[in-house]
Amino acid sequence: MLLKVKRLLGHLLWAGVAVVAAICLGGVALHRGEHINSTWLVLAAACTYMVGYRFYAKFIAARVMALDDKRATPAERLRNGHDFEPTNRWILFGHHFASIAGPGPLVGPVLAAQFGYLPGTLWIILGAVLGGAVQDFVILFASMRRDGKSLGQMAKEEIGKVAGFTSLITVLLILIILLAVVALVVVNALKGSPWGAFTTAATMPIAVFMGLYMRYWRPGKVLECSLIGLVMVLAVIQGGEMVAGSPTLAPWFTFSAVAIALALIAYGFLASVLPVWLLLAPRDYLSTFVKLGVVAMLAVGILFARPDLQLPAFTRFVDGTGPIFSGKIFPFCFITIACGAISGFHSLISSGTTPKMITKEGHALPIGYGGMLLEGFVAIMAMVAASVLQPGVYFAVNAPAGVVGETPAAAVATISSWGFPVTENDMDTLARDVGEQSLYHRTGGAPSLALGMAHIFATRGGRAVMGFWYHFAIMFEALFILTILDTGTRVGRFMLQEILGYAWKPMGRTSWMPGAIITSAAMVGAWGYFLLQGVRDPLGGINSLWPLFGISNQLLAAVALCVATTILIKMHRAKYMWVTLAPLTWLVIVTYTGAWQKIFSPDPSLGFLAAASKLEAALRAGAVPAARIAETQSVIFNNRLDAVVCGIFVVLVTAILVDSIRNWVGILRGTREARMLEAPYVPSNLRADEV
Amino acid sequence: MRQVRKFGRLLWGLLRELSDESAYERHLAAHGRVHSGEEWRRFSEERLYARFTRPRCC
């Protein structure tokens, strides 16, 4: 009887959550006219995620993957005290989340807000439940059953050798575009900002101090050292205000976009060849703690401030004429928000450290699926932060000079003519409040996210603390983007060495200094080229690089879902293959349409080839001033290069897709053997206190 | 109160895991060694080398 009552109460509770989710989603989707409160978005996401986790994820865990807690995981079977170690599920959840959460879920939604808050919000909510979390969960499960093998190894063994090598090349190319685009975000946040530049530059000597502290003065005291580092970083943010206000010091820290880009390239190279303990590791520790702390602070801030959204549900730019990036709502809303809804890069984490530390198979559910839902929640918070800004301010900050005009007068006139009123006085006051000289044309999403975060954090304290919180947010974004930049360059160097090692053995030895220097230079040269291309782009760089990054990241997700579907079919779960096949089909439609439009669209603001042809025609007609001929020729070349890169991504992923479909058809027809490559079953012997 | 203490322990455990301090403790226990500057440097080099050869998410 008691059991029946408990079950009934459980059903009622979940029905209540589902009703709240439906009301909030309906409210968010149908509300027009007056501003709505951010609580609607937060509740819609939270309740949908809870329902998705309770029903869809548990269905996948029980029916599709048949997780078995009696089966020993690699952490138990291969326990070595290093990589393979049974770990508390919530600790591993935090560890996994810290690895998957980067700037993507923060910047993507801010950029996609140009369509209004609604399309991005719905995509983040539904995409995470049906796509992103499924991908992370299934890949984590597959890797866990294969002794923690990587995505590339699984692609090679489950699909074929071509898929394995192709995925290695794909990841390397994506890494190059990723590093260029995140570096561009930092450049646009720090150009002409002495406060931001000083704070970010000061994190380098702080990291070196921390490196020496942990290695020689207090070996092993990482937490203690990170706390000291955090206090020092907060002190330099405060000090940055004095630097920005000093007529002597401010010019020393006021840099052009090109100067910051070159400094980042030099930094990436140094970080790749210097010992990791000196610069990379201390920055990484600090950045991880700051990242988790700021995400928690933002959640608490939104909960307490409950700000109204100022952006409309839809803007006029759903038609593809957006100033931040060109392209219609389909497919570009779904490409712009990758991390936060579905990100291929997560599959590299789900087949990296995490599967080697899972204690019980059942823990893959909260860690793989739940971790992605939390990232979706971070993306919702970023969407809220962008949407609390006045639309006119949002567009003035994010729109490039090439679209709205160079001067403040031209920019506010253009933006106001779109129906988003903003005045020069509004922008000057805001810039003064946050301690900046100007906030126009700060493309990339980071400054508008920082403004939104400052707006939320400064609910208590008012304008007097806006400057501190704005620069705190900028420092936070720069800190962990630079961590991705230095780590990514080093990882790219190793991947390049692995590929070159096939041709010439010594190149594959990571400890061989000439090889390390050559491959590091090649890696920074590659992403640095794309970064400088973005910096010099009259349309702000984000218009070309962010969609390229989104397309490549989601094509990697398509590769991961190909591997996942192949494994499900081999497990004789073909009747459930729609679980991974549905998001795969969606991604293929979205990314192939996006790639096609970016390469071949006749609209020069969208298509790379059309943009190159338009500029070439202008050159031939003599319409380009002599002083800008070289620059125009370089923009023409870059547009064609972007088209080629985009085409290469599509060709590589098509090769994997075709190989996968051949496998699926063969197995389903019975003409190909469904060889299972799982580690053999071993019963778990873990004691209750070890779980 | 017990729940708060449990949450605190969990948070502390997470911070120690993220900072590699727990992994270092496991390393000492697994190899029967005691903490020293030299031992930390040996552990840290191995651990960091592995960490910075893996891609990070965006």
Chain A: residue whose CA lies nearest to B19 = A222
Structure tokens at A281: 């590791």
Q: Is B52 on the interface with A (CB under 8 A)?
A: yes
DSSP string computed for A472-521: HHHHHHHHHHHHHHHHHHHHHHHHHHHHHHHH-GGGG-TT-HHHHHHHHH
- Whole-angstrom distance, CA of residue A154 vs CA of residue A143: 8
Radius of gyration of chain B from its Cα atoms, rounded to whole angstroms: 15
> Which is nearest to A64 in space by CA: A613, A521, A565?
A565
pLDDT at A162 over 80: yes
Reduced to 3 states (helix: H, G, I; strand: E, B; else coil), residue A683 is strand
Which pLDDT score is estimated for A81? 74
Chain B residues within an 8 Å CB radius of A172: none
Cα–Cα dist A165/A167, whole Å: 5
B57 touches chain A (CB under 8 A): yes
Tokens of A90: 């919530």
DSSP secondary structure code for residue A680 in this structure: P
Residue A119 confidence (pLDDT): 96
A83 CA: distance to closest CA in chain B (Å): 9
Question: Is a pLDDT exceeding 80 seen at residue A1?
Answer: no
Residues 6+ apart with CB under 8 A from A529: A180
H/E segment holding residue A402: helix A401-404
Pick the residue from chain A with its C-alpha nearest to B45.
A277
pLDDT at A606: 94
CB of A341 less than 8 A from some CB of B? no
pLDDT at A510 exceeding the cut of 80: no
Q: Is the pLDDT of residue A191 over 80?
A: yes
> What residues of chain A lie within 8 A of the CB of B57, using their CB?
99-102, 104, 339, 343, 345-346, 348-349
Q: Read off the pLDDT of residues A369-387 as tens digits, 9 standing for 90 and up.
A: 999 999 999 999 999 999 9
**Among partner residues B20, B23, B48, which is closest to A276 by beta-carbon distance?**
B48
Nearest residue on chain B to A225, alpha-carbon basis: B19
Residue pair A279/A207 in contact by the 8 Å Cβ criterion = yes
| Spatial distance between the Cα atoms of A119 and A336, rounded to a whole number of angstroms | 11
- Chain A residues 471-510 with a CB less than 8 Å from chain B: 483-484, 487-488, 490-491, 494, 510
CA contacts within 13 A on the Cβ side of A595? 24
- CB–CB of B18 and A182 under 8 A? no
Place of tokens 């004691």: A687
B54 part of contact set with chain A, CB < 8 Å:
yes
> What is the spatial distance between Cα A91 and Cα A98, in angstroms, rounded to a whole number?
11
Closest Cβ opposite residue A343 in set B14, B24, B57: B57
pLDDT of A569: 97
pLDDT of the residue at A82: 72
What's the angle, vertex CA A521, arms to CA A598 and CA A516, rounded to 5? 125
Please tell me chain B's helix, strand, coil percentages from 3-state DSSP, rounded to the nearest 5. 75, 0, 25
Is A281 in Cβ contact with B48 (below 8 Å)?
Answer: yes
Establish if B8 touches chain A: CB-CB under 8 angstroms: no
User: What integer is the mean pLDDT of A39-46?
Assistant: 94
Q: Tell me the chain B residues in contact with residue A281 when contact means C-beta distances shorter than 8 Å.
A: 44, 48, 51-52
User: What average pLDDT does chain A have?
Assistant: 92
Q: Does A348 touch chain B (CB under 8 A)?
A: yes
Residue of chain B nearest A550, judged by CA positions = B58
pLDDT confidence of residue A684:
95
Q: How many CB atoms lie within 10 A of CB A186?
A: 26
Question: pLDDT category, A342, cuts 50, 70, 90?
Answer: very high
* Residue A511 contacts B where some CB pair is shorter than 8 Å: no
Q: Best of A143, A223, A287 to disrupt the B interface by mutation (most B CBs within 10 Å)?
A: A223
CA angle A45/A47/A52 to nearest 5° reads 90
A444 dihedral zone (left: phi>0; alpha: psi -120 to 50; beta)? left
For the cut 90, the answer to whether the pLDDT of residue A163 exceeds it is no
Structure tokens at A391: 């639309």
pLDDT of A479 reads 86
Alpha helices (H) along A128-215 = 133-144, 151-154, 161-190, 194-212
Indicate whether A220 pLDDT > 80. Answer: yes
Q: Is the peptide bond between A680 and the residue preceding it cis, with omega within 30 degrees of 0?
A: no
- Minimum Cα–Cα distance from A346: chain B residue: B57
The overall longest dimension of chain A from CA atoms, in Å, is: 88
pLDDT over threshold 80, residue A524: yes
Interface of A with B in 212-231 (CB under 8 A): 214-216, 219-220, 222-223, 226
Structure tokens at A52: 């998705």
- Give per-residue pLDDT as tens, A656-674: 999 999 999 999 999 998 8
Across the interface, of A219, A222, A352, the residue whose CB is closest to B54 is A352
Confidence of residue B57 (pLDDT cuts 50, 70, 90): confident
Q: What is the CA radius of gyration of chain A?
A: 25
Q: How far apart are CA A14 and CA A21, in angstroms?
A: 10
Mark which residues 9-48 of B lie under 8 Å from A by CB: 10, 13-21, 23-24, 26-27, 29-31, 35-37, 40-41, 44-48
Give the pLDDT score at A98: 84
Name A83's Cβ contacts closer than 8 Å, sequence gap at least 6.
A148, A353, A356, A357, B50
Quick check: A491 and B54 CB within 8 A? yes
In Å, how far is B32's CA from the nearest CA of chain A?
12
Confidence of residue A91 (pLDDT cuts 50, 70, 90): confident
Contacts of B51 in chain A (CB under 8 A): 281, 284
Location of structure tokens 């400054």: A447
> Is residue A630 within 8 angstroms of chain B, CB to CB?
no
**Number of residues that make up chain B:** 58
Span A38-63, average pLDDT: 96
Report ipTM for this prediction: 0.95
Q: Which single residue is written with the structure tokens 């010099």?
A: A536
Burial of A520: CB neighbours in 10 Å, binned 0-12, 13-18, 19+: buried
Nearest residue in A to B20, CA atom: A222
Name the 3-class secondary structure at A232: helix
**Strand, helix or coil at A37?**
strand
Weakest-pLDDT range from A106-115, A325-334, A451-460, B33-42: A451-460
Q: How far apart are CA A189 and CA A612, in angstroms?
A: 28
Torsion sign (Cα): A5, A9, A10, A12:
positive
Residue A60 neighbours by CB under 8 Å, 6+ apart: A134, A137, A138, A369, A576, A579
Instruction: Scan residues 521-550 of A and list those with Cβ closer than 8 Å to B.
Output: 549
Q: Quick check: A91 and B57 CB within 8 A? A: no
Exposure on the CB side of residue A138, measured as CA atoms within 13 A: 37
Contact B18 A353 (CB under 8 A): no
Q: How many contacts does A have with B, using Cβ atoms within 8 A?
A: 126
Contact A258, A535 (CB under 8 A): yes
Distance (Å, whole) CA A663 – CA A574? 13
- Pairwise CB contact (< 8 Å): B58 & A104: yes
Cβ–Cβ under 8 Å, residues A399 and A324: yes
pLDDT score for A543: 87
A490 and A280 Cβ atoms separated by less than 8 Å = yes
DSSP 3-state assignment of A260?
A: helix
Environment class of residue A683 by beta-carbon count within 10 Å: exposed (0-12), middle (13-18) or buried (19+)?
exposed
- Residue A630's H or E segment, with its range, is helix A629-669
Q: CA A629 → CA A361, A473, A621, A624, distances in Å?
A: 61, 39, 12, 6
Residue of A nearest to B14 (CA): A91
- Beta-carbon separation of A83 and B54 below 8 A: no
User: Which residues from B are below 8 Å from A226, CB to CB?
Assistant: 19
